[in-house]
Structure 1
Amino acid sequence: FLGIENLLTMVSVATSVPTACARWCPPNSSCVNSTACRCLPGFSASSGEVFTSPSDSCDDINECAPPAAVSCGKNAECLNTDRGYHCICTPGYELASGAPTFRNESENTCQDVDECQQKLRICKSHSICINTQGSYICQCLPGFKLNPRDPKLCTDVNECTPGSNPCHNSTHCFNLVGRYECRCRPGWKPIPGDPSSPKDIVCEDKDECSSGEHHCHNSTICTNTVGSYVCHCRRGWVPKPGFQNKKNTTICEEVSFPTWMPPPGIKSQRLSCFFHRLQDLRGNLRSVSVQSTIQDLIQEVGDLLEGPQDLENLSQSEQQFVATNLLLGLENALGWLGKALPIGAVTFSSSAGTVLSLEVQEQGYENITLIQNQTKMLLTWDTVHESGDSGPTVVGLLSTPGVGRFLAKAPLVLDTVEQAALHETHKGVLQELYHDLLSDVISAFISNKDPQNLRHPVTFIFQHETPEKAIIPGPREKVFCVFWEHGQNGSGHWATSGCRMVGTKDNSTICQCTHLSSFAILMAHYEVQDSALTVISYVGLSLSLLCLLLAVLTFLFCKAIHNTSTSLHLQLSICLFLAHLLFLTAIDRTEVLCSIIAGALHYLYLASFTWMLLEGLHLFLTARNLMAVNYSSVNKFMKKLMFPVGYGVPAVIVTISAVKANFHSLCLLQHSHGIVYRSNIAFYYARA
């Protein structure tokens, strides 16, 4: 009916339109006459259906909005258009006829659209499409979850993340695509009768050693551990170079006693017995434990040094040769045998005082400290363990008190820094150094590294005798940290290069060294040469010799004055002349002649004092007998007494002194002490 009404209106308007028409009619309108316009159907003006004002406009009527809201029905919505409107189904619905639009509720046949059937791959992998009223959802398969950024994409759920592991603690959780499995850890096996589901499996340790599933070398023994196994060396065996003990790939070799030959050219029955005993220890190594072999070796060394017997009769150079051989042989043997010891620290000692502290480590990062009764050694792990090094590392500290008697008189060689410091301090010419050994000789060694160039210094703390109680203080003293440097000929000397003293107290000294060897604390004594005193001594003694020579010639050849008194003066002059002459010519003699010269000077100066005593006695008796007019009897008495007493008594005293105290140990005629001897003549007389 609405269409017919519009048609009739248009016909009536067309028949009544005058010949004149308004030119100002706005868009979406038609001319009524020359003064009025009418909006087209679907449009309206603000002043009414027909308007005469040129300012009016025809605006679209929104049929979908109140008050003239059009009802499209359920699951549909009104859509306003230009000059009209139409109804459409909401998203997820469509008309049964398949038409895109309809006009009102009576034409509404909107029904749900099954998107899952229309688009089979509307959901991505690992999910299924589920249709809903007006829409659909993508539901993830078990073991997957929706991606927050894409609701159509499902990603795998990692059931094995920490804190949510659903497997038993005897198994490993393995995440798979959309699922997970629980598998036995390496070295474990499922418990018999365990459920077959891979999610509920429970495992127990597998004994690879008893089942024969291990891969240990035949030089090792298999030991089962929880979840695995280790291959460790047999007793008396050590890992080969490049292998570590207690690993699945360990390969071992039998420990053999290192070759240790006696020092050539040394004839000593006691030393031969010692090396014969070493041969027995080498032969018994397979039948006894390494601990027993090391203990026996320490005991044998202690017994040798405690009772050296004929070794004391060797020369100093031969004794030093023997000591060097002992120290080097012990370091080599103990470093090699120590590799067969279990990991940890152990101490060996002998009844003679020889003590060995060992620490065996495979890997570590802390400092290593070895402590003995009088010595402590501190070093870092990276000092002893080279990068890429394998196998256990042995660190040892050996104290051999008895070896000090062989090395005490060895020469001391100062490095250039120490020499320069002494010269700078005293501004003079230093005489030859002599020293005393304050501490025991200790040897520090490691098993698998060159100990001559360490990455970090090693610290030693020595406890030793208080110097004031150990020796007679000299005019110049200094404590040195020294090590035994062996030479090409097998002997050696004390040296200071590479070692420095950090600090010292009365009975404690701290040293740091950049190499390992045998160490000790020495108290060095030295004197600064006084050239003025030397000139005075030589000039004075030369004048004395001249005067004494003239006196001897006078008393000997001037017969007019011959009597008992001049005879006494003559013997005194002869003794003093020989003593001074011997002193001047014997200052720079070696120690071989020093003992003979010391005895001769002892005798000559004692004889001089004895002749002085006889002169005094003769003078006393002469004065007393002059009052009694009995002078001839005094002369007869003195002639009988003076020669037996003047030369006999000193000879007896010197002989007794030589028997009780060796002159070699009391020799003071070193170059640095010649003047001291002359000023201490009274010492010999007081001693007699």
Structure 2
Amino acid sequence: MGPGKELLSLGLLYMVGICLSCDQGFSGRSPKCFDINECENISENCGNHTLCFNTNGSHYCQCQSGFTNRHRKVNFTAATGQCLDDNECLGSVNICGLGGNCSNQIGSYMCICQFGYTNSSGSCIDINECSQAEGKEDLCGEGTCKNINGSYRCVCQKGYTNYGNDRTPCSKLACDSFNAHSGPAPSLGGLADILFMMRNSCLALSNPSLSGEVKADGEALLEKLFTATDDILTPGHLDSSEDVSQLLGTVENAIMLIGPQLKHNRTKIETTETVDAEIAVQRGKTRPTGPVHLTNEHAALETDWTTAAGTGSYPGFAMAALLSYKNLEISVNQSFEDLTGRENDAMVLSSLNVSSKVVSVVVSNPSTQNLDRPVKITLRHLQDRKESREVEYICAYWSDRGTWSTDGCYHQLSNATHTVCTSEHLSSFAVLMALYPMKHPFGLKLVSTIGLTISLLCLILCILTFKFCRSIQGTRTTIHLHLCICLFMADLVFLAGISQTTPKGGCRFVAALLHYFFLGVFTWMLLEGVQLYRMVVLVFNATIRPLYLFLTGYGTPLAVVIIAGVIRPQGYGTDEHCWLSLEHGLIWSFFGPVCLIIIINVFFFIVTVWRLAQKFTSLNPDFSKLHKIKAFTVTAIAQMCILGLMWVFGAFMFEEGPIAVVYIFTILNSLQGALVFIMHCLLSKQVREEYAHFLSCICTPQKKRYSDFSSTNPSSSQSQGSRSGQHTGESQI
């Protein structure tokens, strides 16, 4: 076939293919072409938020309600635009109506109604609180409810007020409490002016007919009240308890009236002369909850809003106030006759004085005479005391009778600067201080002096015995010697300097010496326990080198005293005794090591007794040696019990306590030397024999002594040799 024919064939085939294919939007082959439904794939052909409409051979798209084509076209395809969300909140004014806030949504919007409105058919309408509140209590109290758009207001009748908060119940005002003519005439100069000012303010609050219902400014009224109080208290103290009661009652009533008028939730005010005050107020339809903490320079109050508001009808506000009078304590340093039923009443009443500022606590709760939960009041002392054990702090309130009373008012704790009180009712409070001087009776001083003198004499005999008695020399005797030296020095310093509190530097030195030597006594007692343990457990080399004994016996107490003196030097010496202060825990630099030593010794003694029991039951026990160790252990345990028991009572010696405890400590402390002499000297057979030999040398004539020594009696020589061997064996122990 030639080229011309080939071209003709290709052209014919092309024409046939065109005739057989369908137009765009159709499928199949001509002449049988079918329409394609593009709306079956709407996301691809129209996009999101659209409606698709199919046509013969084509389609078109429209946006759903709440959406608009980005090119503002009604009909479009995916190639000519997509649908965007309409912000209905911008396009329409007041779409939600009065009291509604429009919130745009995807493809729609939502109406959020303001307080006092409700949603109805997509728009906000006013709630008629007054009609809904029919039959409900405490909406307006004694007032009349009037509905307004989005809210309501309570209109109070004469004699009632809601303190400018229109949506709170109306409370009755006791304006007659500020009427000087309804009660006894105030004898206190300036009090009538306060009553007149507060009565006018009260009447203004309770009179709804005032033009514009203008109320007084709470802050300004509070300043006027305290200025007038300054004028009363500045000249000097008040003359009578009746004047004090009138002033305190008037100020408390005034705070009850002024508090709800204050603009801020917390108000602090301080005058230069007389009053510190902090007032907290909570407002709202619901009763507040949570803690309340009020503080000033002289006091602190801890309570809660449930107590401050009370459990009765809620007037729409709660208030708590703390007031401190800076110079009223001089005027109330009297009237203690109601403080009865206490031990040593005569001594207490004669020494009582007010030891803090007078503090008033005021709350909006109308029932403050029997609170569901007590309030806690912390009062600062007028003078800081380094030691408080000589005094008793009493929490008291100023009663309606114009006297101090403790009914329902309880003391919790005291330190050198503050006292914490709790009270089941509210009033004006203060801390009273009763002095308990620790003047020990003459008999106690006599017992202490005689006993310590005997103890010192016995300790001198112990020291001479342990030093010069050759038959008992050894490690244990060395320990006893230095234990007695420490105890002798401690008793000597105690006798001479425990009460010499002046000068202060000398008193501190005496306290440090007592601390050192008493610790030394217990340290040497610990070494005795260690030595007994070694004697039973170790068969050979049971002795302790003297260097180690001295380093431990004298170095350990010295280290403790130096550390304690560096950390808290002011704790050595008090106003009453040259001993360690009970404040700030310094006393534990003595009792801590003592308790530790006793615990360790108890362990050593238990092990020692257990091992002794095993040795006694062994096949070939050395009974003589074991009996001696047994005797040593018994005396060591007795010695530890005596010293330890003494300081159990000594823990209460330097603070107020039963006189029997003081006597027991004094007797035990005084007779320590005598008891050590009895246990370690008189009860020792070897020592008694040495004493007898020494006395025989003194009492026997010279010739007799010479004949005795020159005698060659075999039995005598044998006896002496036996005794010498016995001494040698014990000294080795």
Q: One fold, TM greater than 0.5?
A: no
Higher relative contact order (CA 8 A, sep 6+): 2
TM-score (norm 1): 0.39
Q: Which structure has more strand as a fraction of its residues? A: 1
Q: Which structure has more helix as a fraction of its residues? A: 2
TM-score (norm 2): 0.37
Select the structure of larger CA radius of gyration.
1
